[in-house]
Amino acid sequence: MGQILVTGGVGYIGSHTVVELIEAGFEVCIIDNLSNSRIEVLDGIEKITGVRPVFEKIDLTDQQAVDHFFQKYPNIDSIIHFAASKAVGESVQKPTLYYRNNLVSLINLIDSMVKYQIPNFVFSSSCTVYGQPDELPVTEQAPIKKALSPYGNTKQISEEILQDSVQAFPGLKVISLRYFNPIGAHPSALIGELPLGVPANLVPFITQTAIGLRKELQVFGNDYNTPDGSCIRDYINVVDLAHAHVVAIRRLIEGKNKSTFEVFNIGTGKGLSVFEIINTFEKVTGVKLNYRVVGRRPGDVEKVWADTSYANKELGWKAEKTIEETLLSAWKWEQYIRQQKGFNE
Ligand code: WQD
């Protein structure tokens, strides 16, 4: 069995996937440019699994460096590609950085896969490609809508590049996993979502408010057409999400894919509102959250959650963890990381 390359493997979802791959018996190597992650995450992976994966600090937009990497590691037969810039708001301010980083990285990887005959590719995509779906829950057949941000557009364009590539290059086979809202941390609290800068996402902002790093949580609008007026999302535990990647890459390695480009929605199939998340967090942690309702955040979709029946049936994968244990894992991680040096800004 060949080695699996995980790009962005010391990032949030990447590091959790590396742990699950190692525990499933795969040999993993990691490429990361450390632009949004820390090398210390390798220590957490090693503490959990007893294995310290091979790590190379490479910028995937550097084609020569990418080619040299694959010459150095000829046993790679599969790639799980997480490495990308992913902050929606930042992408609006810096569109060319997002198009260059996210698209050129992907193109360099595809060129190397063709040159070195690496067949299996799992792509980290996002429910953001659906925009505000016309029907809920959203299925893989839902129309792709005009992206609401350059970040979302890079995910749409990346999927198109991959669809064209599997047509052009025989042997290449791809699974695109469209995530909903990944949250939580490994139950060991040894890896999690590294808090670098002010969090844009809800759950890290909640845990940083709860631990006293942030004065208050702002709830972006309570006048939506939802039961309690706040937005609804499909929050999926990051370890459940990591399991989906193990199942997907194994499907390709074993040749069980039914076409050369497959797409799966990876969520829980259940929508929860911002207020439900806040109330659940307070209930499971006993911590009272200081929050204030403010105006809507531009670009937010009102409600989106997944129809996961296709992934459940075809992949044989299902989200297992409850929202309660997931929010508790996020809180445990927040408390752990604040005891580490360099993280108590
Ligand atoms: C969730 C809800 C906010 C922060 C984004 C990307 C998506 C994926 C996940 C990369 C919304 C509300 C948030 C806060 C709040 N990223 N909120 N106060 O926007 O659904 O998805 O992150 O792959 O592609 O689009 O996630 O966590 O930012 O927001 O009220 O301080 O929480 O309005 O309703 P989002 P989020």
Report pLDDT digits (tens) over 314-338. 999 999 999 999 999 999 999 999 8
CA of 318 relative to ligand 1 center, distance in Å: 23
**Does ligand 1 lie within 6 Å of residue 233's CB atom?**
yes
Q: What pTM did the predictor assign?
A: 0.97
How many whole angstroms separate alpha carbon 111 and alpha carbon 203? 37
Q: Which atom of ligand 1 is nearest to the CA of 205?
A: 31
Average pLDDT, the chain: 96
- Per-residue model confidence (pLDDT) at position 344: 66
The predicted model gives 137-144 an average pLDDT of 97
**Does ligand 1 lie within 6 Å of residue 22's CB atom?**
no
Q: Determine which helix (DSSP H) or strand (DSSP E) holds 219, and give its type and residue range.
A: strand 217-220
Residue with CA closest to ligand 1 atom 17: 202
310 classed as catalytic: no
Beta bridge partners of 232: 273, 303
Cα–Cα nearest to 240, from 197, 269, 278, 276: 269
**Does ligand 1 lie within 6 Å of residue 274's CB atom?**
yes
**Does ligand 1 lie within 6 Å of residue 214's CB atom?**
no
Share of the chain above pLDDT 90, in %: 93
**Does ligand 1 lie within 6 Å of residue 303's CB atom?**
no
Residue with CA closest to ligand 1 atom 9: 181
Residue with CA closest to ligand 1 atom 16: 86
Beta bridge partners of 125: 178
CA of 180 relative to ligand 1 center, distance in Å: 10
Confidence of residue 197 (pLDDT cuts 50, 70, 90): confident
**Does ligand 1 lie within 6 Å of residue 40's CB atom?**
no
Q: Which atom of ligand 1 is nearest to the CA of 86?
A: 10
* Dihedral of alpha carbons 78, 53, 248, 37, sign: negative
Residue 195 has pLDDT above 80, yes or no: no
In this structure, are residues 82 and 4 in contact, taking their beta carbons and an 8 Å threshold? no
The predicted model gives 233-240 an average pLDDT of 98
Q: What is the pLDDT of residues 27-53, one digit of tens each?
A: 999 999 999 999 999 999 999 999 999
**The amino acid at 241:** L
* Marked catalytic residue, from 98, 151, 224, 235: 151
Q: How far is CA 102 from CA 131, 276, 316, in A?
A: 19, 33, 30
Residue 196 has pLDDT above 90, yes or no: no
